């Protein structure tokens, strides 16, 4: 997890972060999104996908809201079978 220790890379140096079926398991998802946003280059993307059968829509909708506070924008809401998904972008 990114928020457990100092990141081994410079701010704004990462092209892509993938959050696949795991953010709902984090105790501090907001911290994950803050650190991911700091690591991402401007224009970089973070696909966020959660399992629809395991994560309720209301919980998923709160995750992209937390990303806005971290400085990430929702660029798209792609349809992925049996999943809840958002494509996030760092401005």
* Distance from C-alpha of 5 to C-alpha of 69, rounded to nearest angstrom: 21
Instruction: Indicate the average pLDDT of the chain.
Output: 89
The structure tokens listed for 64 are 């992209």
What sign does the CA torsion over 15, 20, 24, 26 have?
negative
Kindly give the interhelix angle for 29-39 and 57-70, rounded to the nearest 10 degrees: 40
**According to the per-residue pLDDT averaged within each range, which of 35-39, 41-45, 53-57, 60-64 is highest?**
41-45
The structure tokens listed for 55 are 């994560």
* Distance from C-alpha of 16 to C-alpha of 39, rounded to nearest angstrom: 9
**pLDDT mean over 12-40:** 91
């Amino acid at each position: 997890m990114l928020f457990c220790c100092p990141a081994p890379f410079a701010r704004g140096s990462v092209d892509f972060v993938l959050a696949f079926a795991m953010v709902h398991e984090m105790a501090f998802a907001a911290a994950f999104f803050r650190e991911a946003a700091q690591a991402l280059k401007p224009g970089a993307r973070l696909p966020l996908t959660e399992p629809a059968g395991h994560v309720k829509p209301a919980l998923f909708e709160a995750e992209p809201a937390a990303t806005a506070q971290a400085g990430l924008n929702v660029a798209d809401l792609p349809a992925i079978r049996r999943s809840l998904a958002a494509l996030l972008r760092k401005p």
